[in-house]
Amino acid sequence: MANLQQNRAPQDNKAPQENSAANQAADQRLMLILKLCMVVGVCLLIIGHIILSATFINDHIDHRGYMLGAALSALGIVLSLPTKIYLTILLMEYEQKDQ
C-alpha cells in the first residue's frame, strides 16, 4: 500500500503543472481568437461605412447598397464586441501582477 502511494506522489505533482500548461495554451488560443474577431470586426465596420458612403454619393447602387452597408456595419459591431472582453482580461491580469 505504501508503495502504491509513493508511486502516485510524483505523478500527482506533475498533473497540476501539465494542467497549468494546458490552461495557458488554451488561454493563448482564446486570446488569439478574440484578437482575430476584433480585427475582422473593425475591418467589416470600415468596409460597411465605405459602402454606405459610396451609396450616398452614387444613385445607381440603389437600396441594396444601403442594406449591404448596414449589414456589414452591424456584423462588424457584433464581431468587435470581444474587445470589451479582451480589455477586461488584460485589466484583470494587470491587477493580479500588482498584488
Give yes or no for a contact between 31 and 93, defined as CB atoms under 8 angstroms apart.
no
Tens-place pLDDT, residues 24-68: 888 888 888 888 888 999 999 999 999 988 888 887 778 888 899
Task: Parse the chain into domains and list their residue ranges.
Answer: 2-98
14 or 95: which leads in pLDDT: 95
CA dihedral 13, 16, 17, 22 (to 10 degrees): 150
Mean of pLDDT over the chain: 80
In this prediction, residue 14 has a pLDDT band, given cuts at 50, 70 and 90, of: low
Q: What is the pLDDT of residue 67?
A: 92
Question: How many Å apart are CA 35 and CA 89, to the nearest integer?
Answer: 12
Angle at 40 between CA 76 and CA 56, to 5 degrees: 45
pTM of the model: 0.65
